[in-house]
Structure 1
Amino acid sequence: MANSFIDKARITVKAGNGGNGVISFHREKYVAAGGPDGGDGGRGGSVILQVDDNLSTLMDFRYKRKYAAPSGMDGQGARKSGRDGQDLVIKVPRGTLVRDAESGEIMQDMSGGEPFVLCRGGRGGWGNAHFATPTRQVPRFAKGGLPGESHDVVLELKLLADVGLVGFPNVGKSTLLSVVTRAQPKIANYHFTTLSPNLGVVYAGEGRSFVLADIPGIIEGASEGAGLGHDFLRHIDRCRLLIHVVDVSGSEGRDPVEDLDTINAELSRYNADLEKRPQIIAANKSDILDDPEKLERLRRRAAELGCPLFPISAAAHQGVDQLMNKVSEMLSILPPIAVYEPEYVPKPPVIDYSQPLDVQRLDDGTWVVDGPWLQRLMSSVNLNDYESRMYFDKTLRESGLYQRLEEMGIQDGDTVSLYDFEFEYQR
């Protein structure tokens, strides 16, 4: 289907690796002992998500599933740092939830306008010029860049509409939307007419407007996944107010009160909070009502539920203005659309201590440590954060690195060099 609605997509994203530092020594005529001048590697590009209000679906992610930012360039001589990798900006519709694919936890709710750094680029490695000290004048080593972060994530789009139209298929939701907005939904006399949510803006007077969404028709069993099920029930989560459209005429042999209770039960089963969501009942097709008792029964049931009821005819444009005015009035006192708080906590890297570390002692007493698991650890910790630094120290101790250094003869005050981090060893 050409205009099918894509509201869920799984993608793999990877930030760029940091560039490698370089070993280089200054060579110039008439300049003796020019010294080390190897530059640092550039930072890898990060992967950044940005809201784009021109997008309304996740269709683009159906065709492209892998995204990678470029890596940083290696350093050069003459203390020239490598160029940073360019950040990769991925545009998503407003209201997109970003979930960790493995745990399902929310990493970010892209409802605001702030960009979100999904994967950070790896730090560039230090060139040998970085390691020059008064006692280490000829460092013949440099550091490789650290790897960029990578994630498998699920993007889930939830419409950011103020008001949602709910009800059984073919009760007149699409017609009502087309009457009160400039939206042009496909309208026909068969079930599941709406296969994708349609949005429209309702202007209810000077300075008053709201977004109205026609949620596809819900059937009994939708909360268990029957019919279109969860695919479209998810879009009701964000609506501050629901307009429950009921065919009061019973033109298809249905009972209006039963229809009302059935849809409300499905909403409640899907999300208990929806049971408390403010609701207005629109008794549609009242112009072809053959039995006034049907409307009276529906009115009594609406009163029991504490919901205002408006008899309307969307097709004949009857009662629609009064309904929209009531919607505008209720929205003015309702709280704003919910924003989902992140619940994702990055997991520490899995450390395989069986992988040996390469430990070298330089002539100036510096101990240079290198290895795959140490590289992963360094790329995941924030050494400016106290707790992260304590975790880092604990991991090094548990790995047996400190014990090995002591067995190799390290002394208090010796320098330990780990990629782009150095510290004085103290027992």
Structure 2
Amino acid sequence: MANPNFIDYVKLCSRSGRGGAGSIHMRREKHVPKGGPDGGNGGRGGHVILRGNSQLWTLLHLKYKKHVLAEDGSNGEGGNRSGAEGEDVYLEVPLGTTAKDAETGEIRFEITEDGEEKILTKGGRGGLGNANFKTPTNQTPRYAQPGEEGGEEWIILELKLLADVGLVGFPNAGKSTLLSVLSAAKPEIADYAFTTLTPNLGVIPYRDHRSFVMADIPGIIEGAAEGKGLGTRFLRHIERNSILLFMIPADSKDIQEEYNILRNELKKYNPELLDKNRILAITKSDLLDDELMAEMKKEIPQELPSLFISSMTNYQLEELKDLIWKTLQD
């Protein structure tokens, strides 16, 4: 069953506040019957702002928040008193969140750092009061600016997981099992395709109290870049990974062919993914003896580092972590 708490796509209507109107006011005090204009400026309307939060890993808290409304600015007042600014609305989002225009698909920006703040929808400017329009030839202007309208737009927020290592492979290649053995993560594991329906993150401890983050991405199938299987729904999570760990089971009919299909799907989705460092792990190697393993090495693609591993027996898992760490440092 899919994890209902993992939400990586949200569409919402973002409306910023309207700016307050400038004031039309003349100074009138005892002994100052004609004090001139003293209308203050209107306050700015509230912004809608995204703020990065490293403690979040999903957009679940925004799933049912379809409309985000910021406060309007207050009108200016006499005595050159400016109106109060409308209160800004802050939306906390996990790192790796991208904001896109829902109509055009244009990417506005991406939040990648904890505490990073970026304005999603700008509040309207406050209008100038009549005190700003006084001139030598017009001593008593009786007009002021109205406040500027706030913005209203439909926005898509998409999450791309930030991880050091992304696991790439066909369904049932052993990705979830590896993550469960190396980390404290507990992804669903079963002997059928598409057990994993949402990405899982795990922190992998390494020597001298160091660690790295691994992401288990739901299985890719041939045609995924065109939407088959789980399609492009999760391919975007691979974009944020530093290393791609290709996983192909030892009982695969053709290791080279399976690797080529996986590589081709990534290339069709985004050619830049092939610029990332890649490692190949032949999983379920506890099924092999030394002679068969030596024979299979001839079928393995020679252009990338590779290892035979077994999550069931822990065979060469420490060597795999060493290779990953070395590649990350390089």
Task: Check whether TM > 0.5.
Answer: yes
Taking the aligned partners of 1:90 and 1:245, their CA distance within structure 2 comes to 37
The answer for the alignment partner of 1:10 in structure 2 is: 11
The answer for the alignment partner of 2:311 in structure 1 is: 314
Taking the aligned partners of 2:129 and 2:96, their CA distance within structure 1 comes to 43
Taking the aligned partners of 2:267 and 2:294, their CA distance within structure 1 comes to 25
**RMSD value, Cα:** 2.1
The answer for the alignment partner of 1:237 in structure 2 is: 239
Which one-letter code corresponds to 1:7 in the other structure?
D
3-state SS of paired residue (1:331): helix
3-state SS of paired residue (2:300): helix
The answer for the alignment partner of 2:298 in structure 1 is: 300
Structure 1 residue runs of 5 or longer lacking an equivalent are 334-427
How many equivalent residue pairs?
328
Closer/same/farther in 2, CA of residues 147 and 298 from structure 1, 3 Å limit: farther
Contact 1:302 1:308 in 2 (8 A): no
Deviations 1:19-52 (A, max 9, x none): 0112222233343223322221111111111111
The answer for the alignment partner of 1:269 in structure 2 is: 268
2:163 maps to which of 155, 161, 164: 161
Measured after TM superposition, the shift of residue 314 of structure 1 is: 0.6
Bigger Rg, which one = 1
Measured after TM superposition, the shift of residue 162 of structure 1 is: 1.3
Closer/same/farther in 2, CA of residues 26 and 197 from structure 1, 3 Å limit: same
The answer for the alignment partner of 1:175 in structure 2 is: 177
Taking the aligned partners of 1:15 and 1:226, their CA distance within structure 2 comes to 39
3-state SS of paired residue (1:263): helix
TM-score by length of 2: 0.92
Taking the aligned partners of 1:13 and 1:148, their CA distance within structure 2 comes to 10
The answer for the alignment partner of 2:142 in structure 1 is: 140
Taking the aligned partners of 1:2 and 1:309, their CA distance within structure 2 comes to 32
Structure 2 residue runs of 5 or longer lacking an equivalent are none
Deviations 1:326-345 (A, max 9, x none): 10001101xxxxxxxxxxxx
Q: Which one is further off, 275-284 or 89-98?
A: 275-284
Aligned-pair identity in percent equals 47
Larger relative contact order (CA 8 Å, sep ≥ 6): 2
TM-score by length of 1: 0.72
Measured after TM superposition, the shift of residue 226 of structure 1 is: 0.6
Taking the aligned partners of 1:249 and 1:195, their CA distance within structure 2 comes to 23
Contact 1:208 1:328 in 2 (8 A): no
Does residue 86 of structure 1 match 2:83?
A: no
Closer/same/farther in 2, CA of residues 21 and 232 from structure 1, 3 Å limit: same
Taking the aligned partners of 2:182 and 2:129, their CA distance within structure 1 comes to 65
Taking the aligned partners of 1:47 and 1:134, their CA distance within structure 2 comes to 41
The answer for the alignment partner of 1:185 in structure 2 is: 187
Measured after TM superposition, the shift of residue 92 of structure 1 is: 1.4
Measured after TM superposition, the shift of residue 264 of structure 1 is: 2.3
